[in-house]
Amino acid sequence: MALWKEIAAAPPAPATPTPAAAASAAANAALRPAPETAPRANFDRSAVEPAAAPVRATARAELKESLIASGLSIEGKISGTGHVRIAGQFKGDVNVEGNLGIEPGAKHQGEVRAAAVTVGGELTGNIAARHIDVTSTGVVVGDVKADTITVASGSRMRGHVEFGWGEGAPAGGRGEHKANGLTS
């Protein structure tokens, strides 16, 4: 079964068409649909055309997003370069180069490593990311380690939190102790 419309070649025309045959051919041509010039929007041309030179997607905007829809419950492991959005329930570790989003009402149980994590639902497990955003409906139970973190009013967290120790932060150099116990 083909996923695209194949245009059949027209039968060869007689050498000298009669006036009735010419009129019939013109009527048939008017009834025949015009060939499509633009590909369909949902047609994957990569399945039939040779791939161009491989290009590595470096920008985060070019990464594809995978969704675990609400009402689904999945157990396993997710790893790769794309973005992941959980709206249902997922039990297992997530290790992606893209972003992870946990929608309000969603539940995730497992370790997380991602570029950025947004928690709107419930996450039980440790998180390591460059940026973590816990929305007002978010619940985090586990240790959190990030360069930056945003915690909205109304959210709940339980665990050890470390942030601000990324590459751009001061490297914990030696401080001079003063008589009042403070370092400078």
43-81 confidence digits (pLDDT tens): 454 444 444 444 444 444 578 899 999 999 999 999 999
pLDDT score recorded for residue 6: 53
- Across residues 121-148, what is the average pLDDT? 97
Nearest-10 Cα torsion for 19, 20, 25, 30: 100
Number of separate domains in the chain: 1
pLDDT score recorded for residue 111: 97
Residue 21 forms part of a structural domain: no
Residue 183 forms part of a structural domain: no
Residue 86 forms part of a structural domain: yes
Higher pLDDT, residue 124 or 55: 124
- Inform me whether the pLDDT recorded for 152 exceeds 50: yes
- Inform me whether the pLDDT recorded for 153 exceeds 70: yes
Residue 150 forms part of a structural domain: yes
Higher pLDDT, residue 89 or 177: 89
Residue 137 forms part of a structural domain: yes
Residue 50 forms part of a structural domain: no
Q: Which residues contact 131 (CB under 8 A, 6 or more apart)?
A: 115, 116, 117, 146, 147, 148, 149, 150
Higher pLDDT, residue 122 or 60: 122
Residue 9 forms part of a structural domain: no
Q: Name the residue range of residue 88's domain.
A: 63-163
Tokens of 94: 């997530």
Residue 168 forms part of a structural domain: no
β-pairing, 112-119 vs 139-141, is unpaired
- Inform me whether the pLDDT recorded for 170 exceeds 60: no
